[in-house]
Structure formats: C-alpha cells, structure tokens
C-alpha cells in the first residue's frame, strides 16, 4: 500500500477508527488468528470508551486530552530511516554488553530478519516474526496477561498495533546478557506511535531487560506501548525502564506482569525527561511465595508531568511486594502517584509495602499521591506511606557551614534522596551509568540526548561531576 501518512483534520481517535475499518486486512496481515480476533474485541471496547479523559477517575489528575486532542501522523508501514541507524543506536555503556533491539519510530528495524536464537536458547525478535515462527507461544500469552479493557490506550494498542518485541527464555535458561530495547523517535513530524512487547520467561529461567524510550527530535509524539510479561515458576525477571523524551512528547506505558510461584521480579522505572508520562504497571502475583519489587525515580522540571499508577494484585498466599517511588519536582512540574494494593481473600500471609517520597523544589511544583489498599484476607501485613517535603534546611546549613556551596549542598541532598533507588540497580555498570545520568539531570545538564539515552552524546569524554560521589 501507499505509505503516505494518515493525516487528516479529524481527531486522533476518529482517524484511528477510520483506518482500522479501511485497512484492517493490511494491519492484521501478519497475525495469527487469535491476535486478529482480539483486535476486533479491542476495537469494540475502544469505540465505547475512546481515549481516557479527565472525567475518568483514574485519569483525573493527568490532562491526557492535551495530547490526544493534538494532530498526529500515523503510519501503517515503516519509513525509510533518514540517518545512519547504526550510529544512532550505538550504546556506550562501558563493560555492559547487551543484546540490542532497535526500534525506530515504533518499528522493529530489520524486522524481516529471522528471529535471533542465542546459543543458550534465548529467543528474541520482532513480534510479527514471532507470530510466524512461534505461533503457539504467542497464542498462549498474547492478550492474556494484559487487560485489554483496562483503558482506551491498551484497547487501541491491541486493536491496531503492528510491531513490537518478542522475547522467550525457555525453561531453565538464565540469559547472561541483558536484552536492551532502544526505542527512538526521530521523525521531523508529529507521530502517534504504538508498539507491543511480549516477554515470556519459562520455569527456572532468568532475564534482565532494559527498555529505553528516547526522542531526538523536537516534535510532539505520543507513544503508546503495551508490554506483557509472563514470569514462570521460580523465574527471575528484572526490568529497567529509562524514559528520556522531549518536553513536548507524551508516553503512555502499560506494563502487565504475571508471576507464578516462587518467582521474583524487580522493575525500576527511571524517568528523566518527558512532557507527559503515564506509567501503568500491573503486577499479578498468581503463585505462592512470589515477590515483586516495583521501584521508580522521577526527576521532572519545567511543565513536565508524570503519573505513575501501580497495581499490585496479591492473588496467592505468602507473596510479598515492595513498592517504592521517589521524585524530585522543580519549577511547575507535577506528579501523580497512585499505588493500588489488592489482596484477595485467599492471599493470606501477604506482606505488602508501599512508599512514595517527594521533594518539591519550588512552591509551584505539585504532587498528588494516594495509596489505595483493598484487603480481603485477614492475616496480612500491609503498610504504606507518603512524604512530600522540601530540602531539609538544617541539613543545608550543616553542609554550607563546612564550606560546601549552596548549589552543591542542594545537589548532595537531592542526590542522596535519589541514591536510594539507584542503588537498587543490580547490574553494576548500568548502575554507574544511571548514577551519572541522575547527577547530570540534577545539574540541569541532561537534555534530550543526541543519541541513545545511555550514549549521552559524548562517549569518549568522561563526565566530570564537581562533587565526587564515588565510593572510596
């Protein structure tokens, strides 16, 4: 078909619906039947709900209409890259060797290539290829972990998405290398972009995954990503999400994780920059003795907005969850944190912890934080807490009285606040790099990167920080 942008002076939702109707055969041309069937169900759902708006309880504090009412171009096929792709996706983290998956403007690069099967059995590739080579696996999990009715973004993604990442770690396999998905937006136009990831971990397996969302343009984009993760019995999964997009763009990221018995997960959502971000993280603890660490750090300024919605569903006994999000907000930035913990009637001996701490650097910054605990079992331990504050003035004076400038004293205190989350990154070279990025961000020197979020523009130049934070 003709790859002209589908742009018309109609609203985004109308445009999407129209193209769904006109181009359904094309959109679903790589599908297995169950995926096609799901598209129809999802579109039916989207037709009744549309995109969420401020009148929806769960979107009350995020003015998503500001984005969904913009005009975007939407492509049903990838464009020819406009620059040297290899250079763009080169990721320079020293001593950190990853399997890199590059996605440009929502499309898997070289998606006609075969799926990669590593010697240890780990499989990764584009979702559309996976539907050809691993149809049973896709059919078993696709759309089963995520709730396609949970909001309009998930519905429209399910209805129309054409590409994404597939990862499969077979039973008993521990993936040595981290798999890194780098998603870049570089078009010189406003885009609505969707992608879908399906990650499957078999029994007794192990995987760490990085998911970087970047933009290197200055146009408005709206990125709608849905990820489904299945974590089998006694499997261990780590997910690092790095979000660094321009000040105009929006990102709606819905991650659904299902855990079987004795499994562990750790997700760390690190938000450095973006006009508007909504992270929906849904964890279903389905098997006994499973554990989830759901962590996050957000550093926002200007008029940026972040909304983290975390759902932890304790559906089995003897599970534990630890939710911790920390944020520093400057200027007129705003943040929302809603942490839902749902403990089912049979989920006895649940241990659930939830915490959200915020520092507001200016009186114009705002945070709206709220825990929601729904507990139906009677033998559980649940705790929650939230703090909102300024930098500790006593500590500021103490540092300054030792000769440390007020600027550096502020940095030290902000860094100390954030370090709590950074220190929980278990891959050491990555922890160091993130540490560096946080320092840069706190100094106001991390702009939208020239290249990959981890590239930081100047790989050959070691970044120097006034305050030597290195552990001696």
Task: Provide the edge-to-edge strand list for the sheet that holds 250-259.
Answer: 116-117, 123-126, 165-169, 191-201, 221-231, 250-259, 276-285, 305-314, 334-343, 366-375
- Interface with another protein includes 26 (CB under 8 A)? no
- Interface with another protein includes 417 (CB under 8 A)? yes
Using CB under 8 A, which residues numbered 362 to 401 contact another protein?
Answer: 392-395, 397-401
Closer Cβ to another protein, 282 or 357, answer by number: 357
- Interface with another protein includes 447 (CB under 8 A)? no
Which of 136, 403, 444, 462 is in the footprint of another protein by CB under 8 A? 403
CB of 396 to another protein, least distance (A): 9
Closer Cβ to another protein, 112 or 401, answer by number: 401
Which of 416, 426, 450, 458 is in the footprint of another protein by CB under 8 A? 416
- Interface with another protein includes 120 (CB under 8 A)? no
Using CB under 8 A, which residues numbered 243 to 282 contact another protein?
Answer: none
Among the listed ranges 144-152, 221-229, 330-338, 412-420, the one in contact with another protein (CB under 8 A) is: 412-420
Which of 9, 119, 363, 402 is in the footprint of another protein by CB under 8 A? 402
Closer Cβ to another protein, 402 or 461, answer by number: 402
- Interface with another protein includes 462 (CB under 8 A)? no
Closer Cβ to another protein, 397 or 463, answer by number: 397
CB of 439 to another protein, least distance (A): 12
- Interface with another protein includes 222 (CB under 8 A)? no
Which of 95, 383, 405, 426 is in the footprint of another protein by CB under 8 A? 405
- Interface with another protein includes 419 (CB under 8 A)? yes
Provide the binding-site residues for another protein, judged by CB under 8 A: 392-395, 397-406, 408-409, 412-413, 415-417, 419-420, 467-469, 471-472
């Amino acid at each position: 078909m003709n790859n002209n942008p589908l742009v018309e002076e109609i609203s985004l939702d109308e445009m999407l619906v129209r193209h769904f109707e006109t181009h359904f055969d094309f959109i679903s041309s790589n599908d297995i039947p169950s995926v096609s069937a799901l598209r129809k169900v999802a579109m039916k759902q989207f037709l009744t709900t549309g995109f969420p708006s401020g009148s929806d309880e769960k979107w009350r504090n995020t003015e998503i209409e500001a984005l969904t009412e913009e005009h975007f171009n939407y492509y049903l096929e990838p464009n020819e890259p406009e620059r040297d792709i290899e250079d763009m996706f080169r990721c320079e983290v020293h001593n950190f060797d990853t399997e890199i998956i590059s996605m440009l403007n929502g499309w898997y690069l070289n998606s006609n290539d075969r799926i990669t099967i590593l010697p240890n059995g780990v499989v990764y590739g584009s979702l559309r290829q996976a539907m050809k080579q691993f149809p049973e696996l896709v059919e078993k999990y696709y759309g089963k972990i995520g709730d396609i009715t949970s909001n309009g973004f998930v519905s429209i993604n399910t209805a129309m998405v054409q590409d994404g990442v597939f990862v499969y770690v077979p039973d008993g396999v521990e993936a040595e290398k981290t798999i890194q998905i780098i998603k870049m937006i570089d078009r010189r136009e406003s885009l609505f972009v969707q992608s879908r990831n399906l990650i499957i971990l078999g029994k007794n397996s192990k995987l760490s995954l990085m998911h970087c969302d970047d933009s290197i343009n200055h146009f408005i984009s709206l990125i709608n990503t849905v990820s489904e993760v299945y974590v089998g019995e006694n499997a261990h999964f780590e997910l690092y999400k790095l979000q660094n997009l321009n000040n105009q763009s929006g990102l709606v990221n819905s991650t659904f994780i299902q855990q079987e018995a004795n499994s562990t997960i750790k997700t760390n959502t690190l938000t450095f920059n973006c006009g508007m971000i909504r992270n929906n993280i849904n964890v279903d603890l389905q098997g006994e003795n499973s554990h989830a660490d759901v962590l996050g750090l957000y550093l926002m300024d200007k008029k940026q907005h972040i909304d983290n919605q975390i759902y932890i569903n304790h559906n089995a006994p003897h599970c534990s969850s630890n939710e911790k999000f920390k944020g520093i907000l400057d200027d007129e930035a705003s943040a929302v944190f809603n942490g839902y913990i749902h403990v089912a009637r049979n989920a006895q001996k649940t241990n659930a912890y939830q915490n959200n701490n915020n520092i507001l650097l200016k009186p114009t910054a705002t945070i709206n934080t709220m825990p929601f605990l729904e507990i139906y079992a009677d033998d559980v331990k649940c705790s929650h807490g939230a703090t909102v504050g300024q930098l500790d003035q006593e500590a500021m004076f103490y540092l300054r009285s030792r000769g440390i400038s007020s600027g550096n004293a502020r940095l030290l205190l902000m860094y100390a606040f954030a370090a709590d989350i950074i220190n929980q990154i278990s891959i050491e070279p990555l922890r160091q790099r993130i540490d560096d990025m946080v320092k840069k961000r706190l100094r106001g020197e991390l702009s939208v990167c020239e290249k990959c979020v981890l590239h930081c523009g100047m790989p050959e130049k070691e970044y120097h920080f006034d305050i030597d934070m290195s552990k001696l």
